[in-house]
Amino acid sequence: KGFESNYGYRPLEVPIAMDAVAVYVNKDNPLQRLTLAEVDAIFGKDHKRGLGPITNWSQIGLSDSALAKQPVHLYGRDKRSGTREFFKHIALKDGELVDDVVEQPGSASEIIAIAQDPLGVGYAGAGFDISAVRQVPIAAQSESPALLPSVETVTSGTYPLSRSLYLYVKKSPKDKLDPVVEEFLAFVNSRQGQETVARANFYPLTSTQIAKNRQELGLAKGAMVTLPPADLQVAEQLAR
C-alpha cells in the first residue's frame, strides 16, 4: 500500500519459487500427524479453527507414550519473520500466537532448540533435513490425508502450508522492463534459474507457471524446468 501511494501504481509481482512451512518435533517424538485445527489449538491464542487449547501431548494421540501428560514446549520465529506471519495467516486464520512460544531469531536456531528438547514442537521452513528432528505430516481436515512437504505436494498446493514466493519489481504499467531486470527475470524463469531455486532448498515452479510468467513478462521462449512424474525424484534431490 505504501508503494502504491508513493508511485501511483502497484509493483510488478512475479512468482519465482514455491516454499512450505513444516511443523517439526524431536526425532524421538512418535507423533504421526496433525490437523490444521490441532496446529491452531497448539500454537494459537484465539482458536479460530474451533478446538480448545492443546497443552500436553496426550491431547493429540500420545496418551500411551512416554510423553503422555508431558507439556508441549513451543518454539517459533520472532516478530520480524515472514515465516511467522505466513504461519499465523494460514494455520491460525490470522489469529495470534500464544504467549509461551519461545521465539528464535532464525529457523536454524529453532531447529537446534527442538533437537535438544524431547517435548519441543515448532514451525520453520521445510528445507531442514537433519536426523535430530523430523517433520510431522499435516492434514487440512480431520478426514483428509496427512501430507509432508515435497515437490509434488507443494507445487500442486495439496500440502496445507505451502506458499508462493515473489519478486517485486518497480515498473510502471506504461514502461518496459529495464534490460538488466529483464535479463535477471529471464534467468529466474529458465531451467538453470529454477535449478538454482531448488539448490537453495526451495521448490521450483511448474512449467505451466513459468510459461505464464514468460508470456506476461514478454520474455523470449527458453528452456524451462519441467516436473513430470518421472522427474520428481530428481527434483526432490535438488530441493534438499
Of the listed ranges 43-47, 127-131, 186-190, 194-198, the least confidently predicted one is 127-131
120 and 66 share one domain: yes
Residue 142 reports pLDDT greater than 60: yes
Last residue of a domain, one of 162, 191, 221: 162
| Closest C-alpha among 136, 46, 161 to residue 94 | 46
In a domain, 126, yes or no: yes
Report pLDDT digits (tens) over 4-43.
Answer: 999 999 999 999 999 999 999 999 999 999 999 999 999 9
171 and 108 share one domain: no
133 and 175 share one domain: no
Look at residue 238 in the predicted model and tell me its pLDDT: 43
pTM of the model: 0.84
DSSP 8-state class, residue 159:
S
29 and 130 share one domain: yes
Residues in Cβ contact with 130 at an 8 Å cutoff, skipping those fewer than 6 apart: 111, 115
Long-range CB pairs of 225-233 (<8 Å, 24+ gap) are 225/190, 225/191, 225/194, 225/195, 227/151, 227/155, 232/150, 232/151, 232/152
For residue 173, what is the domain's CATH number?
Answer: 3.40.190.10
Number of domains in the chain: 2
% of the chain residues with pLDDT over 90? 84
Residues 161, 90 contacting (CB under 8 angstroms): yes
| Bridge partner residues of 166 (DSSP) | 15
User: Which residue range forms the structural domain that includes residue 51?
Assistant: 20-162
Last residue of a domain, one of 134, 162, 190: 162
Look at residue 228 in the predicted model and tell me its pLDDT: 42
Residues 97, 44 contacting (CB under 8 angstroms): yes
117 and 181 share one domain: no
Report pLDDT digits (tens) over 175-190.
Answer: 999 999 999 999 999 9
181 and 108 share one domain: no
Q: Which residue has the cell 533435513?
A: 129
Distance CA 62, CA 57 (A): 6
| Bridge partner residues of 125 (DSSP) | 21
Residues 133, 150 contacting (CB under 8 angstroms): no
DSSP 8-state class, residue 223:
-
Distance CA 108, CA 105 (A): 9
